[in-house]
Structure 1
Amino acid sequence: MELRQLQYFVAVAEEGGFSRAAERLSIVQSAVSGQIRRLERELGVVLFERSTRHVHLSGAGERLLPEARAVLDAAHRTRQVAAEIASGDDGVLRLGTVHGPGDRIYRLLHELTATSPRLQVRPRRLPVAERLAAVRSGELDAALVRALDTAPGLELLPVWSDPLYVALPEGHPLANSPVLHVEELAGLPLRLAPREHNPPFHDLITNALRAVGAEPLPGPTFTTFQETLTAIGAGTPSWTVFYDVVGLPAVHQVALRPLAEPALTTSLAVLPGPPGPALRHLLAALARTS
């Protein structure tokens, strides 16, 4: 069964004859008659009662007419939705996300909802390696990633930057500075999580130290954020570095100071090539909310 056969069937039923249906469809009458006979053979029923002067729907034809109209309406709606997807006004955007910083992700999703209300955004939070692999495989359309300079097989589009903050003992002389530089901190033990937990961030900090001629001085391992800050306030002098996710905490005997550089860059990882319509909407929303 073909859609055009149903279209011809509906046209003959509404026009009351093969000739007028052919005129409406701008085709020859024999084509209409031939397709109706083929449809009747495929369905195993007679759709029209024919005489030399009149064509009327059979009982089977009356019953099937609303079904045929429903199929044609569904096909028309499918074409409409496909056109809206092609324009980016409708569809599904599968986005790998990061946690924070702040409310950026929420503002981004709100902006997409406001400007493209029929675009369904499906955020997924995965470890960074899995996030990038999902973009490469097509499981995700794009993914936000932090502190990455390169990602084989992908293009990284910087979308925003955020400052980093240093936590160090409140009584340390460096705590008197409003802004700190990595070279000033080189002599203090650095509390970082093992590299395998977050390679891009780990490399960002250690490379910043090496860029000023300092080798990172390993301190106790960074565990949880709260435990690490508590240990910095109570133990021997050490420091750690972090980015703001939900606001700067207040911890007894710990000073929090902005780090002059480096900043933390968040990028959008995408497949190389021209972006699709949904991705163009995402990039526009990122430009408006960054």
Structure 2
Amino acid sequence: MSKRNSQEAKREARERLKAEREKQAKRDKIRRQLTVGGSALAILAIAGGIGFAIANNTGGGSDSTDWSAARDILDNGAPSGDDADGEDSADGVNYPTEAPANTGGDDGLTVQVGDPDAANTVTLYEDPRCPICVTFEQAMGETIKQGIEDGSYKVDFVFGTFLDNNFPGNGSKNAVAALGAALNVSPEAFLEYHEAMFSEEWHPAENKDGFTDEYLIEIGDTIPELKDNQEFQDAITNSTYATWALQMSDKFDASGVGGTPSMAINGQKLEQVPYSPTDLDAALAAYPAE
């Protein structure tokens, strides 16, 4: 072996070692995040990705939205305590049932961002309180956004709220309703708000009831379209999209997804969530649109 070839081999070995160390550092970060949830949450470990599994514990806490009333509206057409004429009684509340603007489907539960004519469809399943979704978004958020912008695929977002069953409060449901408020402004505002919500700076610990109305409005103030946007803020404080958030959660539950984050490519659910652009490209190649 020539001296030049020997030096090249050593350089390649150093680069491989550096890459492996970076991968190990990312694994260590994920493990540290997993310890936050404690024994109350089951952990789903998947080769190539780690997610929060759906468990059936019951949480507690309070929220400005009367989620029981919102569920009654969906199940019965009116919350418990409403008068026969539809007016609110002393112990009843009423919430709108319309979907945000910029949704699709007969039920208004299709949240699709990107060129509708894009050949590929990426479906992303997340729970707003999920800390591993934070890890995923920080690793892949920019890549997914770029794919939307260059027309490689459109993205369908499906949001679950199962972590509200594991920790105090209703932060996941509150956050999904706020995402609906952002989507009602524009798809661009939704994407930016979604990015901020899962950022390391703004994402609260999942075992804290951090997604309060005030905090969600504060996050919105970092987005130009949402800053001081009274319609957006009123939609949060008035629980305008509370029933829609519950319907979105029902859609997630019906999907059969076992944890978050999860992904499907052109309708094919992936066993491993891609944590690198290369892995995402491989998944797109493995499951082409028909």
Provide the TM-score with structure 1 as the length reference. 0.18
Higher strand share: 1
